[in-house]
Structure 1
Amino acid sequence: MTSSFFRTALILGLLTAIGPFAIDMYLPAMPSIGKELSAENHVVQLSLLAFFISFAIFQLFYGPMSDMWGRKAPLYIGIGLFALASIGCALASDIETLIAFRFLQGIGGAAGMVIPRAIVRDMHTGVQAARLMSLLMLVFSISPILAPLTGSAVIEFYGWRGVFWAVMIAAFIGLILLSTQLKETRPRDARAESGLGSAMAAYRLLLGDRNFLTLTFIGGLGISSFLVYLANSPFVLIDHYGLTPTQYSMAFSINAVSFFTVSQLTGWLGDRFGLIRVMRLAVTAFSLTMAAMVVVMGLGFNQLPVMAVFLFVGYGFLGLVIPTSAVLALEDHGEIAGTASALMGTLHFVTSAIAMVIASLFFDGTALPMAAGIALCAVGAFILTQATIGCRRVIEAEAAAE
């Protein structure tokens, strides 16, 4: 692979990570925000919810925009809005203002989640696309490792407002890289065929495409398993197992390391065995690992090291599932890659939100309900994968890839 291949992956990964970085860095700041702005904890949490809502919904708009206007213009708009909204958050004098600017921040950050995937599809298909997607995710996956630690350090020296100045600087760096290092990948003649009518037609097409939806929900359930862990692990690892916040950060980071390290094998494995076979094997191993975790913990072996080993192995396999399912879902939709990426992102967030709500209903502060929620997501992905095997279009795609 050439240096330009790695450079593209780095830039796209940074653009993708800007939105999630604003989530992960923000978490340690929430208690101090409530104290300074005289807001109850549940009201401060609304600022996080506002970001999530706009971040999920507005992906549906950026996809068609990138098909109609090209990839770079909506990225300029989105990342620029994110930077300006970050300044508004940093200067907010009350919680209502902060919530409003967090909503705008989510609108801007949604562009970075949708459009890089469309750019990957513009540039490559098959194994090369999987290789680029896995490199993009390598950069993206650094966020849950570095962001909480970085956020804590920034807060210690500059207060919670420093978090928003930091993500604003990251956004401006993204704009500079976008302007100087990334070429437009959506040709003008392709844009001429795109409009509001074609966008609605594209969404109807995608919602009727069993192949696309199945692969999207496979990836969505995989992501849901990680977000169920994200939402519950602070209470389980700190309150139940007694870890310190620093120890928790390290334990959380280990799973992310497993995920992005194994994901780098996607291109090599796909080239050797085919993307479909890699995805099927990875989903099967992922679901078996997480199901075994629940069985073992249910039998009374629920010590932290036992759960940690299962999670490390399981999320390693997930590192193969996410990039392969995304590449295969977009494979047949190059003409509407932006719209397809947008619908994929929104469905991922909707699936994750439902999974997190259901898991929260059964959470009792111990590890077993969290593990069960993770395992159910993994088994759901396995069931959908088996349904995908019977889909003629996927079988044909596998034969063509070989």
Structure 2
Amino acid sequence: MSDLPVSNPASSSAPASALRLVLILGLLSAIGPFAIDMYLPALPQIGASLNAPVSAVQASLTAFFLALGVGQPLFGSLADLWGRKKPLYLGLAIFVLASIGCALAQDIQTLVVLRFIQGLGAAAGMAIPRAVVRDLHTGHEAARMMSLLMLVFSVSPILAPLAGSAVIGLGGWRWVFWAVTAAAVLGMLAMVRGLPETRGPAARGDSQLADTFRAYALLLRDTHYLGLVFIGACAMAGFFVYLAGSPFVLINHYGLSTTQYSMAFALNAVAFIGAAQFTGALGQRFGLATVVKLAASASGVVMVALLTYYLLGGDQLAVLMALYFIASAFMGLVIPTTSVLALEEHGAIAGAASALLGTLQMLMGAIAMQLVGLFSTGKPLPMVVGMATGALCGVALTWITLGTARGRQTAQAQ
């Protein structure tokens, strides 16, 4: 086996090696989102095929999200105890077996259970790649690699729904699960030679399970870490609200076709991805903490403008799309940068820190989506209220977290 060198971070950042590493980590990170986004167009067909009501079919999606939240701390802990690669292999193996089971499921109850197991396996790819980035780099280099990772990862909301529709059209909904099985197998093969073990025996030392519990206890007492996690979580919550509400608003209220909706959704993803590529350069010039302050505040201002427009009776799709495009770009600066800052001081327990970050952000996004759903009318205003609330909570947390003495030290250290 030929692994990339990890003893010297500079050597691992050589262009070819860095690109290969980012592509592999991005593929591993995207397997879970692909299993969500490719699956969405299949929901009606699954209900008809398995003779299941809408609520039961939706439960298979909820089960996957819950498993992603539960599984990330588990695999983050294993990544600190065993190293990074073994838990990734374990997670992918679970994902592959559960995906095959989903493809063969004959009733909705079995599918829901297997979707939960599938989500547990996918959680490894969500939690561990961020820890690998932290193992190799800190500061601006970490922000740059995290942005590249986000670039690969963010292909999912652009391509996965279209790919899912194509697969369903060719072979039916079961072929969605065969497709994600193939993607997971490809990820395992890529890991064999292309992914280094970035937490070797010397770094693991005599790590025990008790150390993991102590790591989570430490993280949950670290208000600076939690503040940074929840800044990103607020941005994610606004996106989750948009994710849940936009099909009804854009298709039913504004009359877009499903293809037009996919293009509108992709437009926001492009804004997010494009802006994220500037985090390293902007962080190096102005400091990562300053980037977060300015980007979060600007996103809040844009969302307040959008909310004000709808409160005053406006109802133009162009205004919604233009202002959320701008807000998405600012979120592309906030989310990867806060992830880097949150992990910066926790290199020794980066797996646990990354996993807890992912879990808290996933759960907060799901809660926000559910709460706003209670007030959803299919019109833009409830959705925009939820999106603006997330942005404003993020602004408040940003200035509270990065305005403290420790936050100022973080800013000065960049």
TM-score by length of 1: 0.98
Q: What pairs with 1:379-390 in structure 2 (closer than 5 Å)?
A: 379-390=392-403
Does 2:410 align with 1:397? yes
Show the counterpart of 1:293. Answer: 306
The yes-or-no answer on 1:185 pairing with 2:212 is no
Picking from 250, 266, 269, the partner of 1:237 is 250
CA contact (8 A) 1:260 1:316 kept: yes
2:129 maps to which of 116, 136, 140: 116
CA deviations on 1:33-67 (whole Å, 9 max, x unpaired) are: 11111111111111111111111111111111000
2:104 is the counterpart of 1:91 = yes
**In structure 2, distance between residues paired with 1:61 and 1:343:** 9
Per the TM alignment, residue 301 of structure 1 is displaced from its structure 2 partner at its CA by 2.1
Name the CA distance, whole Å, in 1 between partners of 2:288 and 2:129.
20
Deviation at 1:21, TM superposition (A): 0.6
The 2-side partners of 1:3 and 1:279 are apart by 30
Which deviates more from structure 2 when the two are superposed, residues 13-22 or residues 184-193?
184-193
The corresponding residue for 2:184 is 171
Distance (whole Å) between structure 2 residues aligned to residue 306 and residue 298 of structure 1: 13
Match in the other structure for 1:209:
222
Within 5 Å, give how 1:238-253 maps onto structure 2: 238-253=251-266
Number of the residue aligned with 2:321: 308
Cα distance in 2 for partners of 1:345, 1:371 equals: 24
1:79 pairs, out of 85, 89, 92, with: 92
Per the TM alignment, residue 393 of structure 1 is displaced from its structure 2 partner at its CA by: 2.1
RMSD: 0.9
Task: In structure 2, give the amino acid aligned to 1:219.
Answer: G
Q: Does 1:373 align with 2:386?
A: yes
Aligned pairs (5 A) from 1:99-138: 99-138=112-151
Amino acid at match of 1:30: L
In structure 1, runs of 5+ residues without a counterpart are: none
Partner of 2:276: 263
Q: Could you say what secondary structure the match of 2:313 adopts?
A: coil
User: Normalization by structure 2: what TM-score?
Assistant: 0.96
Residue 397 of structure 1: how far off its partner (Å): 2.1
The one-letter amino acid paired with 2:313 is: G
- Which residue does 1:4 correspond to in 2? 17
Query: 2-side partners of 1:56 and 1:332: how far apart?
Result: 23
**How far off its partner does 1:392 sit?**
2.1
The corresponding residue for 2:236 is 223
Write the distance in 2 (CA, Å) between the matches of 1:284 and 1:148.
Answer: 32
- Write the letter of the residue equivalent to 1:263: A
Indicate which of 283, 297, 310 corresponds to 1:284. Answer: 297
Measured after TM superposition, the shift of residue 390 of structure 1 is 2.7
Q: Which runs of 5+ in 2 are unaligned?
A: 1-13
Name the SS for the 1:364 alignment partner: coil
Q: Any residues of structure 2 matched to 1:150-161 within 5 Å, and which?
A: 150-161=163-174
Match of 2:372 in 1: 359
Q: Which moved more, 1:68-77 or 1:36-45?
A: 36-45
Whole-angstrom CA distance in 1 between matches of 2:135 and 2:404: 25
Structure 2 distance, partners of 1:74, 1:11, is: 15
| Residues 1:20 and 2:39 are matched in the alignment | no
Q: What is the aligned partner in structure 1 of residue 334 from structure 2?
A: 321
Q: In structure 2, how many angstroms separate the alpha carbons of the residues matched to 1:71 and 1:380? A: 34
**Secondary structure in structure 2 of the residue aligned to 1:194:** coil
Q: Could you tell me which amino acid in structure 1 is paired with residue 225 of structure 2?
A: F
Change (3 A) 1:194 1:391: farther
Q: CA deviation at 1:277?
A: 0.6
Q: Please list the CA deviations of residues 65-115 of structure 1 after superposition, one character each: whole Å capped at 9, or x if unmatched.
A: 000000000000001111111111001111111111111100100000000
Aligned to 1:341: 354
Higher mean C-alpha deviation, range 382-391 or range 319-328: 382-391
The range that moved more, 46-55 or 206-215, is 46-55
- Cα deviation for residue 180 of structure 1 reads 1.4
1:360 offset after TM fit, Å?
A: 1.1
Letter in 1 for 2:192: S
SS class of match (1:58): helix
Distance across 2 between alignment mates of 1:359 and 1:100 = 27
2:98 equivalent to 1:60: no
Aligned residues of 1:297 and 1:307 also touching (Cα < 8 A): no
> CA separation in 1, counterparts of 2:287 and 2:219?
24
- Number of residue equivalences: 401
Write the distance in 1 (CA, Å) between the matches of 2:413 and 2:403. 16
Conserved 8 A contact 1:224-1:377: yes
